[in-house]
Amino acid sequence: MKSLYLISVITMFSSIAQANECEVTVTSNDAMQFDTSAIEVPASCSEFEVTLQHSGRLPKMAMGHNWVLTTSSDAQPVATDGIAAGPSNHYIKPNDSRVIAFTPLIGGGEVTSVTIDVSKLNSTENYTFFCSFPGHIGIMKGDFSIKE
């Protein structure tokens, strides 16, 4: 009976550990920073969830942040085009096919998330995540990769 209980507990924790590999929380702040500059996604994940937290206090119109994923070559052009799209579009050009995933723009104390279909990503491609609020991509960006 004791060994059956132990196996159940191990199986439960194993499932939890596997689930946690397919999600990450990224924190942003009023100093225009993400708390990470790299995210590795296990190829075994069918979906990957990114939760964005804004630990600052400033409102989104003053120091808003979002989390955007594109190929590395598309990052700057997407951010540039997003400026004209404005805050009502989360600084993302509507229907921009270069955008793989993005969260809404949030302000201090807010949290949002986005789920990515990992099957649509290629392990040999270079991806970049960034904040598309005007001027933030210069500092708020990082590498996003699929780990085989």
Q: What is the pLDDT along the chain (148 residues), one digit of tens a residue?
A: 554 443 443 444 433 444 489 999 999 999 999 999 999 999 999 999 999 999 999 999 999 999 999 999 999 999 999 999 999 999 999 999 999 999 999 999 999 999 999 999 999 999 999 999 999 999 999 999 999 8
Residues 6 or more apart in contact with residue 100 via CB below 8 angstroms? 69, 70, 71, 116, 120, 121, 127
Query: Is there a contact between 135 and 77 (Cβ–Cβ < 8 Å)?
Result: no
CATH code at position 54: 2.60.40.420
In a domain? residue 136: yes
> For residue 9, what pLDDT is reported?
38
> For residue 74, what pLDDT is reported?
98
0.85 surpassed by pTM: yes
- Domain limits at 129? 22-147
List pLDDT tens digits, range 112-138.
999 999 999 999 999 999 999 999 999
Name the one residue in this structure whose structure tokens are 């296990």.
42
Per the structure, the count of domains in the chain is 1
In a domain? residue 8: no
List pLDDT tens digits, range 54-64.
999 999 999 99
In a domain? residue 27: yes
> For residue 15, what pLDDT is reported?
39
Query: Is there a contact between 123 and 112 (Cβ–Cβ < 8 Å)?
Result: no
